[in-house]
Amino acid sequence: MKYIFVTGGVVSSLGKGLTAAALGTLLENRGLKVALQKFDPYLNLDPGTMSPYQHGEVYVLDDGAETDLDLGHYERFTSTKLSRKNNTTSGQVYQQVLDNERAGRYLGKTVQVIPHVTDEIQRRIQVLADDAKVDVIITEVGGTTGDIEGLPFLEAIREFAQDAGPHNVCFIHVTYVPFIKAAGELKTKPTQQSVAKLREIGISPNVLVCRCEKPLDKDLRAKMAMFCSVPFEAVIEHKDVDHSIYEVPLMLQRERLDELVCRVLGLTVPPASMTHWQEIIRKLIAPQHRVRIGVVGKYIELQDAYKSVYEAIIHGGVANDCGVEIEKLDAEDIEKFGPEKILKGLGGILVPGGFGERGIEGKILAAKFAREHKISYLGLCLGMQIATIEFGRHVIGLKGAHSTEFDAHTPHPVIALLDDQRKVTKKGGTMRLGAQPCQLTLGTKAQQLYGAFVVQERHRHRYEFNNAYRDKFAKADFVFSGTSPDGKLVEVIELANHPFFVACQFHPELKSRPNRPHPLFSSFVAASLAHAGAMLGVNVHMASPDGYQLPHAVVQQATSVARHGARLRLFADAADAVAAREVFRVGRKLQRRHPVRVLLDAVLEAAVLGAVYLQDFVGTAERDPALAAHARRAPRPPPRHECKTPPPSCCSTPTPTRIGSTNPSPPPDT
């Protein structure tokens, strides 16, 4: 068994979890079996009772464990099967030590941090090693080197490494190399100090993973190698990625991190084949389609509050070769300004899970707007409860319908506390948690999307649809498409007369992967793209003349114009665009000599929601030297007079027209 320990220094939030997950991906693609583990120094037993402002999202595993969000990275990047054994907190360790003391298992000895706490930490590493049956275990130590809370974990892994032997353990230290703008250079001193602190504890890192904004030159690498006592090739550059976290494995592979780790551990395995991962990145960077999807929540200013939801939406985009522009929308803004102003122009609306009354009415308005305007809707946990409340109020006519979580005295409690939750008094670990079976109804949209009749999905909730109202909802075309196997708990609902309105009581985002997108998310993105295209009624096509490559700036502008869901395609010749039979009023434009002006009508049609000047759009291309050269070579036909009014009274030069105006004038020929 081989062991890798990932520590962090200088500051928190450096991406230790991503580094560990990306390394796991590379090792798996070398043919190794990998397990990942997270040590969290906080005294909470788990993050289940923490505020999103403190911790971000709570990531739930199949066995019901409420864990750190880094375990989401582990599952999204690797095939490892996680359980509560893969996440250990100081609270869990100390609780176990005190339980052992009460049970008399220490034979009357004084209980101390060393050896009893550190022994318990080491025991948890060994338990995972015995159960996982893998080749390599990667353990991430949370917090920052030098934090008093993390010292027992660092001492524990130092002792563990001593017992395991030098060729069976690799220490990776993730550190920060800041760029000082005033000095115009990267500074290595924080890294030196961080490594010095780690060595005081007795741990000498084998590899430095250096987070930085600018590239590390040869001299900087040599300096850190010398002062931190690591080989030159063991100083790994980890720059901020340009597009997606899924670029990290490829970046670390280019830095030969996996090769270096295998050498330290004495592993002889073939190089990692990352072809499938490269295709994922291609779809993320250069998708064929684009769509805007709004996520309506109350923690939208927090990057990690809905982390798994955002990632699952991106996975759905990958499945459809579609770039998704995620609009993070505050539910309270919808209450203040109205749904029309906030939600107009979206291809899809998603309401994620959550707790608490704040922003509830805004989420209800979002569900109502999606239902009435036939916008694709996906509700998760609370999002399903919201859809139920909205439908009860505005379709069935249940005045004051609500959830008892938010209104204990509602006349119509369409959402109520689960029966087995009524006597629960403690908060932590007491909800309906983990993987539960869901039976899908034949012929429903949900059943068709899954392609199965029974699925396992992860839950985290206390409230559920109130069965006393099931008949009323069913008569109003509110479809119960998934239930618990005994039929008592509603798990999935959908609307029969809506293109895509699906909501579930569970959290499908927790089981979505970039290479295995969850069917609900891939279908939701597809439906959102279809809605956006129908809303615009056009596919945007850009045509360029033979022998000329449209400049990048033009393509960027065209993509921006199409951001509301119109599909963007590039044609080498205008005739090819016409042959596609998907453009509007192009016949006249094809006779104009300007090569970029071929399909301006189509661009205009598609950009009604944009704020782009046609003149600017054309001018970007006109300023391109290659186009100017092409225009000089091309034959220039005499200008055509296309107006019904005789010249010159009709043909004064029009002013630039903003796309979206009522009667836009075409830009003048130049």
* pLDDT tens track for 618-665: 455 455 555 555 555 544 445 544 444 444 444 443 333 333 333 334
Residue of 405, 509, 518, 541 marked catalytic: 509
Tens-digit pLDDT profile for residues 352-404: 999 889 999 999 999 999 999 999 999 999 999 999 999 999 999 999 999 99
507 is catalytic: yes
Spot the catalytic one: 55, 116, 507, 518: 507
Residue 136: the pLDDT is 97
The H or E element containing residue 540 is strand 540-543
438-483 pLDDT, tens digit per residue, is 999 999 999 999 999 999 999 999 999 999 999 999 999 999 999 9
Q: What angle do CA 329, 330, 336 make, to 5 degrees?
A: 115
| pLDDT tens per residue, range 326-362 | 999 999 999 999 999 999 889 999 999 998 899 999 9
Active site (annotated) includes residue 210: no
Vertex 550 angle, CA 545 and 551, to 5°: 150
Q: Give yes or no for residue 568 having a pLDDT over 80.
A: no
Mean pLDDT value across the chain: 83
Backbone angles phi, psi at 436, to 5 degrees: -135, 145
Q: What is the pLDDT of residues 541-553, one digit of tens each?
A: 444 444 444 445 5
Strand order, beta sheet including 478-483: 322-330, 289-297, 348-351, 376-380, 501-504, 490-495, 478-483, 432-440, 454-461
Confidence of residue 86 (pLDDT cuts 50, 70, 90): very high
User: Once rounded to an integer, what is the mean pLDDT over residues 596-614?
Assistant: 38
Strand 179-180 and strand 185-186: the pairing is: antiparallel
Q: Using CA atoms, how far apart are residues 129 and 168, in angstroms rounded to an integer?
A: 13
The mean pLDDT of 179-183, rounded to a whole number, is: 88
What pLDDT score does 426 carry?
Answer: 84
Residues whose CB falls within 8 Å of the CB of residue 263, separated by 6 or more in sequence, listed in order = none
Q: What is the pLDDT of residue 618?
A: 46
Where residue 424 falls among pLDDT bands split at 50, 70, 90?
confident
Catalytic residue among 381, 402, 457, 541: 381
pLDDT at 605: 39
pLDDT of residue 574: 42
Give the DSSP H or E segment for 21: helix 16-28
The predicted model gives 279-291 an average pLDDT of: 88
Confidence of residue 37 (pLDDT cuts 50, 70, 90): very high
* Span 401-415, average pLDDT: 95
Q: Whole-model pTM?
A: 0.80
- The mean-pLDDT minimum among 90-94, 164-168, 190-194, 540-544 falls in 540-544
- Per-residue pLDDT, 164: 93
Percent of the chain with pLDDT over 70: 79
pLDDT in the model for residue 420: 84
Q: Is 583 a residue whose pLDDT tops 80? A: no
When comparing pLDDT for 17 and 656, which is higher? 17
- Look at residue 32 and tell me whether its pLDDT is greater than 80: yes
> Residue 437 pLDDT > 60, yes or no?
yes
Q: Specify the DSSP element, H or E, that contains 265.
A: helix 257-265
- Confidence label for 535 from pLDDT (cuts 50, 70 and 90): low
- The pLDDT, as a whole number, for residue 534 is 64
Please compute Rg for the chain using Cα positions. Answer: 29
Block residue for tokens 């050498």: 263
**Nearest partner of 122 among 154, 150, 149, 79, judged by Cα:** 154
SS (H, E, C) 574-637: HHHHHHCCCCCCCCCHHHCCCCCHHHHHHHHHHCCCCCCEHHHHHHHHHCCHHHHHHHHHCCCC
Residue 612 — pLDDT band, cuts 50, 70, 90? very low
Greater confidence (658 vs 169) lies with: 169
With a cut of 60, say whether residue 616 has pLDDT above it: no
**Given pLDDT bands bounded at 50, 70 and 90, which one contains residue 598?**
very low
The pLDDT, as a whole number, for residue 590 is 35
Please give the angle made by the CA atoms of 385, 389 and 392, to the nearest 5 degrees.
135
Lowest mean pLDDT among 40-54, 375-389, 558-572: 558-572
408 C-beta neighbours (distance < 10 Å), count: 10
Of the listed ranges 6-20, 222-236, 540-554, 576-590, the one predicted with least confidence: 576-590
- How does pLDDT run across 187-234, given as a tens digit for each residue? 999 999 999 999 999 999 999 999 999 999 999 999 999 999 999 999
Structure tokens at 584: 């509007």
Q: pLDDT at residue 502 above 90? A: yes
The more confidently predicted of residues 516 and 303 is 516
Mean pLDDT of 5-32: 94
Number of Cβ atoms within 10 Å of the Cβ of 432? 18
Element (H, E) at 311: helix 307-319
Compute φ and ψ for 56, nearest 5 degrees: 85, -155
CA–CA separation, 222 and 235 (whole Å): 8
